[in-house]
Amino acid sequence: MNNTELELLLHRPESATLDFKRQFYNIDAADGNIRKRQRQEFVKDILSLANGNANVAGETAHLVIGAAETLDENGNRELFDVGGLDIKSQKLLGIVNSFCEPPLQDLWCDIVEIDNKQLLVITIPPSPYLYETTQKLETPTQTYSPYVVFVRRDENVDIASAREREAIAQLKRLRYQETQNAPPVQFGAALGALLMGSAAGNQLVKTTGKKLQ
């Protein structure tokens, strides 16, 4: 994640694949009850982004820490510096995976500076799996039974129905397979055509850009 990519995210509304928080969850609070509820709130939010919904199944999702949840009248977000955070991806994965099945495969954590403020961007890469909780979750505002699937409806977190779970699971598998089975780019052909100055070569280069991470 770089500055340009983050700038684009900051001007988008919250959605099934994008969530904003002013500050990070208090996952290391001295008070055990607060620590438990904050960690389980984090689990809920990450799993909802990882599952998305049927419209976005198989897409990359982001949780941005250090930005207001709403846009102002000019389409901007107030930013809050979170540069003092010491966040490790493996620790966050461990917290999430102690509550879900199958285990979440990966999380990418990046500190990105915008307007002299450091923001944390957590990226949840696409996967072919639907994630279900394996035990009860107690968040600061609500308690959830085990074996639920969290999804997002725009900026809201909800529990998927049985029909929705099946639809999302099928779409995630299908779209992930489509991505993995995409034909390889014929770079040599593209380069040769480009060197010859052909229009076809120019078009190939335009359409074979590197995927953003």
Residues 29-60: pLDDT tens digits?
Answer: 999 999 999 999 999 999 999 999 999 998 99
Q: What CATH number has the domain bearing residue 67?
A: 3.30.950
φ/ψ region of 8 (left if φ > 0, alpha if ψ in -120 to 50, else beta) reads alpha
Q: Which residue has better confidence, 29 or 177?
A: 29
Q: What integer best gives the mean pLDDT of the chain?
A: 87
Residues 56 and 159 placed together within one structural domain of the fold? yes
The range of the structural domain enclosing residue 107 comes to: 3-180
- Do 10 and 85 meet the contact criterion of CB atoms below 8 Å apart? no
Q: Which residue has better confidence, 121 or 202?
A: 121
Separation of alpha carbons 187 and 12, rounded Å: 34
In the chain, the number of structural domains is 2
- Of 144, 131, 122, the C-alpha closest to 48 is 131
- Residue 155, SS3? coil
Across 7-33, average pLDDT: 97
Residues 192 and 123 placed together within one structural domain of the fold? no
List Cβ neighbours of 4 (8 Å cut-off, separation of 6 or more): none
Does this model's pTM top 0.75? My answer is yes
H/E run at residue 159: strand 156-159
